[in-house]
Structure 1
Amino acid sequence: MQYRELGRTGLKVSDIGYGAWGIGGAGGGWVGAQDDESLRALERFIELGGTFIDTARGYGRSEELVGRVVREHRGEGPIVATKVPPRNGEWPARAAVPVEQTFPGEHIRASLETSLKASGLDAFDVVQFHVWSDEWVGHGDWLETVQALKQEGKLRFFGISINDYEPENALALIRSGAVDTVQVIYNVFHQQPEEQLLAACQERGVGVIVRVALDEGGLTGRITKDTTFEEGDFRRTFFQGDRPAQVEQHVQALADDLGIGVDDVPDVALRYVLSHPAVSTVIAGMRTVRNVERNAATSDRDALPQQMVDKLKAHRWERNWYRG
């Protein structure tokens, strides 16, 4: 496993992180996770040198499972990040909704206390707001609350999870100096963060945590026109209608252009994201030991050749299927 600086925090994190949404159960939007296998996958991730785990209050039982494993490794890491959900329960944050409705101080504190209790941890390394709007900079008592919780030793660093496919909706916060990390969707299809966000993070020393690097499974090469998902799995909506067929077509075109097999696409897709120097870590969903081992192997490989990076630029395919 290889390691990178998490912005100016001084923390070193594995460049492949563990995305713990999928292990939370139906409450987290994914169906099919088994606790025993999830715990084995987390243990294997740490065994292979993984040091960054990302969870959230809204991911069902995820915090509980993560805490169960991390408590067995006290004093040796790993670094754990969680998220505070918006009080009004709205994802993504809507424009013109005041921060007093989403992240008032008492809500931030109560959510973090609940997360600490669920996980059994004394503190989190990074606590992130699960949605964000740049209209909130300079308003509300969220910043004072975050600073107080830092002083109390309940969190070390503060971050945000940027609204889906809105990478520019964090530039004001980044430039304010108030945030230590940002989490953003960035992948071969969605290259918009390269336009402004990543450079701003580099300039200000803000750590970049990339999510959805495999396009919710689209860039795994395993989504075909015949793919279906169980009731209750958010991907049933995300990949509705003819979307699986569209994904299959785009992935096959990508593989053909690079002269690789479809099975090699996920490795290349992860390495594409890691090719950008602003990226600190890529959190991949890994519900099985097999997935952990496969993604850890990606970390061990050499950087993607620039010629291949350049070819992948042509496969940009911007769309936001979260919004219907």
Structure 2
Amino acid sequence: MINKALGNTGIEVSQIAFGGVEIGLPYGPGITSEKDMLQENEAIDLLLQALDSGVNFFDTARMYGKSEELIGKAFAQHRNEVVICTKCQHLRDVSGNLPDEKALVKIIRESLVGSLKALGMEALDVLMLHQADIEILQNEAVCRTFEDIKKEGLSIAIGASTYTVEESETAINSGLWEVIQLPYNLLDQRQSNIFDLGVKKGVGMVVRSVLLRGMLSDRGKNLKEPLAEIEKHIAKYAALATQEGLTLPEYATRFVLDQPNVSSVLVGIDKSLYLEKALETANLPALSKKLLAGAIPFPDPEFINIPYWDRMGWL
């Protein structure tokens, strides 16, 4: 497993990061309740297996159910061997509004205390904003509170999880947020220009949605009519991957791993098989020129919206 610098934070992380949402709450295709999830001992064994396999970067969040608690139990005796990134609870209320300054500070501080307790840690490696939009990224109380948390030694680095190019660019140019977690994959490559900016500013770049919630796998077949063009595009990737001796998930994951300015790639893992596949892919050679040339994004990236597709009953 290759370790890479996480921007200018002084932290080194494994090229594959363990995405902790699946072990914490029902999430993903076919997972509808806790009955479909790993039991506590199984989740802890999986986390330790990942560490033994060279994965040192583990991503979680206050909003990920039992994820923080499980990670805390798994690594109680391995604190110096792991890098833990967690995210603050959501800051907007049920109406989508940001509370006043006093309430924001309270939410962030209470979220931090909850994370530290669940993880069994005195300080975090990375604390991030969760679903950081422009208003949140530029909110004075939010920025000041996160900066204070870092000054107090309660987190080595601070960052933000973003969705749009504008959000990522705003976070990087702020000079405050040291790590950015953003979506990037074969179908949607809009954030590609952000990578160079991040490196220039010394910001660590972490990529999620590599398989686009499983769409860049066998799940991207037999889709409903509104997604017909998406399915055709995915089929082209799959055919090209087969010609070059790869599976579609290998192609999709390797494509992101080959981006030189990306520090780490988040992979959702809730089975040993998924961990093993991620590790195997990380050890594959870099993509051929043919595969790189075939990595053409979907022509209408604005259409790529998994939550919307789900609401519309297309998945």
Q: Does 1:33 align with 2:37?
A: yes
Query: Helix, strand or coil for the counterpart of 1:184?
Result: strand
Distance 1:99 1:126, change over 3 A: farther
Q: 1:179 aligns with which of 165, 174, 177?
A: 177
Question: What CA deviation, in whole Å up to 9, does each residue of 1:159-179 have, x standing for no partner?
Answer: 10103xx12223122112101
1:220-241 deviations in Å (ceiling 9; x for gaps): 2244328xxxxxxxxxxxxxx5
The 3 A distance-change label for structure 1 pair 299 and 106 is same
Query: 3-state SS of the aligned residue for 2:92?
Result: coil
Give the TM-score, by structure 2 length: 0.86
Shift of 1:249: 4.0
Q: TM-score, normalised by structure 1?
A: 0.84
Contact 2:159 2:177 in 1 (8 A): yes
RMSD after superposition: 2.7
Q: Deviations over 1:28-79 (max 9, x none)?
A: 995422123322221111011001000000011111111111213132x210
Q: How many residues align?
A: 302
* Superposition deviation, residue 246 in structure 1: 6.1
Q: Tell me: CA distance 1:255–1:90, structure 2 relative to 1, closer, same or farther (3 Å).
A: farther
Pick closer, same or farther for the CA change 1:81–1:14 going to 2, 3 Å. Answer: same
Task: Single out whichever of 149-158 and 16-25 deviates more from structure 2.
Answer: 149-158
Q: Does 1:283 align with 2:266?
A: yes
Tell me the CA shift for residue 281 of structure 1: 0.5
Given that 1:132 and 1:170 are in contact with CA atoms closer than 8 Å, whether structure 2 keeps it comes out as no
Secondary structure of the structure 2 residue equivalent to 1:225? coil
**Offset of 1:198 from its aligned partner?**
1.7
Q: Secondary structure at the match of 1:132?
A: coil
Partner of 1:7: 7
Q: 2:300 & 2:234 partners in 1: Cα distance?
A: 11
Which residue number in structure 2 is paired with residue 79 of structure 1?
A: 83
Match of 1:197 in 2: 194
**Aligned pairs for 1:173-322 within 5 A:** 173-194=171-192, 196-225=193-222, 241-242=224-225, 248-260=231-243, 264-313=247-296, 318=301, 319-322=304-307
Gaps of 5+ in 1: 227-240
Q: Letter of the aligned partner of 1:87 in structure 2?
A: L
Between the two proteins, what is the percent identity of the paired residues? 29
Q: 1:65 aligns with which of 61, 70, 79?
A: 70
Q: Which amino acid aligns with 1:288?
A: K
CA contact (8 A) 1:83 1:127 kept: yes
